[in-house]
Structure 1
Amino acid sequence: MKAAAERRVAEAAARETMTKAVRTLGLPIDVDPGKALLDEIHWTAGHVAWLRDKVQELQDDDLVWGRASTEVGIGPEGPIDKTTEKADASVWYQLYLKEREHLAKVCSLALRAGIEERKVKLAESQGLLVADAIRRILGALGLTPEQQELVPVIVPRELRALASGNA
């Protein structure tokens, strides 16, 4: 009986640990590596911009001088409220530099993986699908010869406007 109780307690502790880990780290998901890399670039660029703002908010002295440690509480000799300062780069600046380094790294990985080339190929294949759909639509409309002569002028113009955001 005692062994079974100990096993139940151990299982409950293991379940609690697993639940905490899932809440903290999440569960695995299916992801396209190229998309994950681009997502990481976007997130990291956002982090860099946010940290840059934090660093720019610092006063000159705060950039290289700041709190190293703080002790507050009750010690053997009574109340403690002690702050130690030292010359060192601000934690915001250190985080900013690390995040910039990470951004450069993931951008380099994306370039080596040919992400931009894949995006161009995807756009080209989507363009071919759109062009084919337009041809089928125009063919099904039974246009007059005069209307058919306008197609090579109107369709490219409207697609260019769409691509430039002026549609």
Structure 2
Amino acid sequence: MESAIRTLGLPVDVDPGKALLDEIHWTAGHVAWLREKVQELQSEDLVWGKEKHEDGVGPQGLVDVTTEKAGPSVWYELYLKERDHLAKVCALALRAGIEERKVKLAESQGALVADVIRRILNAVALTPEQQILVPEVVPRELRALASGM
């Protein structure tokens, strides 16, 4: 049992939307890495390669035999499978409305921030001259915050 837990892990509470987005991010990373591996191959290695290699001592003496065959590279096959998986999880996310949920979340957070700013400005009793600056200063500072400045 302990071995199975170590190998397979234990149940984890997870938000399905976050799990799906995490899977997309991991899979996109796998695709990028596998693309690099495929790009490192020589063109002939994409369709021709070593199938097996035997060496040692056999009934007739020393053996050193390499068998080659035509066929797609393992790296290329893995790359294609991972690309297919990425397309599937992206389609699942789109069907689940992940992007729409992210936009709604950002909108609700923006509304909360705007409400807080409004309450702060009302509470500090700005002069008319200061109130004129609010539509210029507040958006500028929020844009700077959003851009990481």
TM-score by length of 2: 0.91
> What is the DSSP-based 3-state SS (H/G/I as helix, E as strand, rest coil) of the residue aligned with 2:72?
coil
Number of corresponding residues: 149
In structure 1, give the amino acid aligned to 2:16.
Answer: P
> What is the DSSP-based 3-state SS (H/G/I as helix, E as strand, rest coil) of the residue aligned with 2:13?
coil
Answer yes or no: is 1:51 the counterpart of 2:44: no
Change in Cα spacing, 1:83 to 1:21, as seen in structure 2 (3 Å) is farther
Structure 1 unaligned segments of length 5 or more: list them. 1-17
In terms of fraction of residues, the more helix-rich structure is 1
Q: Within 5 A, what are the aligned runs for 1:32-47? A: 32-47=15-30
Post-superposition Cα deviations, 1:25-79, rounded to whole Å, max 9, x if no partner, equal 2211000000000000000000000000000000111111111122344444444
Answer yes or no: is 1:116 the counterpart of 2:99: yes
Post-superposition Cα deviations, 1:77-123, rounded to whole Å, max 9, x if no partner, equal 44443321101100000000000000000000000000000000000
Query: Structure 2 CA distance, aligned partners of 1:122 and 1:153?
Result: 25
RMSD value, Cα: 1.6
Q: Within 5 A, what are the aligned runs for 1:1-150? A: 18-150=1-133
Q: Which has the higher contact order (CA 8 A, sep 6+)?
A: 2
Query: Structure 2 CA distance, aligned partners of 1:82 and 1:23?
Result: 40
Match of 1:4 in 2: none
Match of 1:9 in 2: none
In structure 1, give the amino acid aligned to 2:77.
Answer: Q
TM-score by length of 1: 0.82
Change in Cα spacing, 1:162 to 1:74, as seen in structure 2 (3 Å) is same
Structure 2 unaligned segments of length 5 or more: list them. none
In structure 2, give the amino acid aligned to 1:107.
Answer: C
